[in-house]
Structure 1
Amino acid sequence: MTAPPPRLSWWRRHQRQLAPWLFLMPALLMFGLYVIAPIFESIAISLYDWDGLGEAKYIGLANYIELAGDPDFRVALRNNLLWLALFLLSVPIGLGLALFLNQTVSGIRLVKSMFFFPFVISQVVIGLVFTWFYNPTIGLLPQLLALVGLPDVAVLSDERLVNYGVIAAALYPQIAYCMILYLTGLNGVRPDLIEAARLEGAKGWSMLWHVVLPQLRPATFIAMVVTIIGSLRSFDMVSIMTSGGPYGSSRVLAFYMYEQALSEYGYRMGYGTAIATVLFSIMLVYITFVLWRIYQQEKDLA
């Protein structure tokens, strides 16, 4: 009579299922502590009238009701939508630069480094440089306009032009980032597909549209995700170049949140976190869509 097989311990029987979660546990704990918990805390604070120091008074949805009738909030939201629309220009421009720089000619590395330079310098430096560039007294832009016979324009002092001026400054490093993504993607384009398409007579736009761009889909996806999130969380350029002016016409949601919650104009933590919650909700809708697209792509590949 043979002896029964030894009974495995509980750990041995569940090791394959539990091991991945044990590796993930430290990261999940940190993510929950420093990301998820602050999100719910911010939502809770948005239900209070609080200056950040004294006693908080529960007011329910009053902050959100006030937001619905706040003209400054509507201006900031409209500016964020303008940022979103114009910021997407960095994707096709970055693609065009990458195609132009993806050459094997003498000196192309130096040219690539010049286009890459905006990505590695600080946003503060870029904001200051563009502020000087727009300066109607000593800036380069008025001199360029004078060369072609056009009058001077005070870009950052004109309510009609200020947003376009700030967005142009923010586009400068974002285009460089998209260009780097596409240059990396072009290194992975299959040369056999290019040769086969040439034998079939494809060239120019047809080659780009039907052969090159499908292989650059991962780079395009990342560029779109980073660009859209960057447009929604825009703060630094507005703070450096205009501080929300003139007359609040260049405010975006992130800057308006800072003004209300942490600057000398507000110290309304509840109202500021209500603005942050609205901005987070907008991002959450987009991030959910992105994760759904990633899941669909992974399922198709499987």
Structure 2
Amino acid sequence: MFAIYVLYPIVSSIVLSFYSWDGVSARTFVGLANYRELVGTDTFYTALENNLIWLVLLLLAPPIGLVFALYLNQSVKGIRFVKSLFFAPFVVPGVVIGLVFSWFYDPAFGLLRVLAGHGVPVLGNEHMATFGIIAAALWPQIPFCMILFLTGLTGMNPEIIEAGRLEGAKGWSLLWHVVLPQLRPATFMAVTLTVIGALRSFDLISVMTSGGPFDSSTVLAYFMYDQAIKYFRFGYSAAIAVVLFLIMIIFIAYQLRRLLRAER
């Protein structure tokens, strides 16, 4: 199953990136022409820059999720209901989130107009569109990280925490030296999945801006889709996919190396 649904598509995409193909006619081998064209395209660098912005800002989700998890990891009356409220955004489909935030940002009747006192064209401004979409992406990503940390907190060894308290650790010292080391696997999962989500961001961009205005909010995943679906350039699209795949592999390998070294 892994070979059919993971390895084979990866190898097929790499092979396809060396061809020119419209999805119908015969493939034409072009070597590195797709990659040369890609590095000479301004949209590629815009998408790469936006992916970097997504990466930096979406990494706010793990620490904020940890704060919420620490707050919700207590036995008080009504905490389960509060947990469900925090978790609710994660189960909402991305398309629905995109529509809701599009209405929120609408300069004619959106809630942001009411809060700001005047219409703010967030999604129509090339300097603001990417940040508006990232704000929408953070809304479900923070609860996702919160759940990972909550799972880690419930599985912690209480004897280690008690031993830390007996040694005089409390507050920030207890969190840094006793709690966070036990949350290392949850932290690894939260950071890695957040980075993957930032690099493969697509649905919110498709719903909210379609990569606009003037390709200012496009990212590599949407650029790849745009070239394949709209312009039938499947070989060129595969080259974009390979570049995105390499970026993900490099980061995941780096994070795994850090995790294994810390465990040793």
TM-score, length basis structure 1: 0.83
- 2:75 aligned partner, one-letter code: T
2: distance between equivalents of 1:34 and 1:83? 27
How far residue 41 of structure 1 moved from its aligned partner, in angstroms, is 1.6
| 1:279 matches 2:250 | no
SS in 2 for 1:237: helix
- 2:25 aligned partner, one-letter code: G
| 1:200 matches 2:167 | yes
Alignment match, 1:260: 227
Among 98, 101, 112, the alignment partner of 2:83 is 112
Among 207, 210, 215, the alignment partner of 1:248 is 215
For structure 2, the 5+ residue unaligned runs are none
| 1:53 matches 2:53 | no
2: distance between equivalents of 1:200 and 1:56? 69
2: distance between equivalents of 1:280 and 1:221? 19
| 1:101 matches 2:86 | no
* Stretch moving more, 59-68 or 98-107: 98-107
How far residue 292 of structure 1 moved from its aligned partner, in angstroms, is 3.7
SS in 1 for 2:123: helix
| 1:41 matches 2:12 | yes
How far residue 81 of structure 1 moved from its aligned partner, in angstroms, is 0.8
SS in 2 for 1:156: coil
1: distance between equivalents of 2:115 and 2:210? 26
2: distance between equivalents of 1:37 and 1:106? 51
1: distance between equivalents of 2:169 and 2:194? 31
| 1:132 matches 2:110 | no
TM-score, length basis structure 2: 0.95
Q: Write the deviation string for residues 52-80 of structure 1: whole angstroms up to 9, x where unpaired.
A: 11222221111111111100011001101
Deviant stretches of 4+, over 4 Å:
293-298
| 1:82 matches 2:53 | yes
Determine if contact 2:108/2:119 at 8 Å carries over to the other structure. no
SS in 2 for 1:157: coil
How far residue 267 of structure 1 moved from its aligned partner, in angstroms, is 1.1
Cα 1:195–1:44 shift into 2, 3 Å: closer
How far residue 295 of structure 1 moved from its aligned partner, in angstroms, is 5.0
Structure of larger gyration radius: 1
2: distance between equivalents of 1:191 and 1:55? 64
State, as a whole percentage, how many aligned pairs show the same letter. Answer: 59
How far residue 226 of structure 1 moved from its aligned partner, in angstroms, is 0.8
* Stretch moving more, 160-169 or 190-199: 190-199
For structure 1, the 5+ residue unaligned runs are 1-29
Aligned residues: 264
Q: Write the deviation string for residues 202-227 of structure 1: whole angstroms up to 9, x where unpaired.
A: 22211211111111111111111111
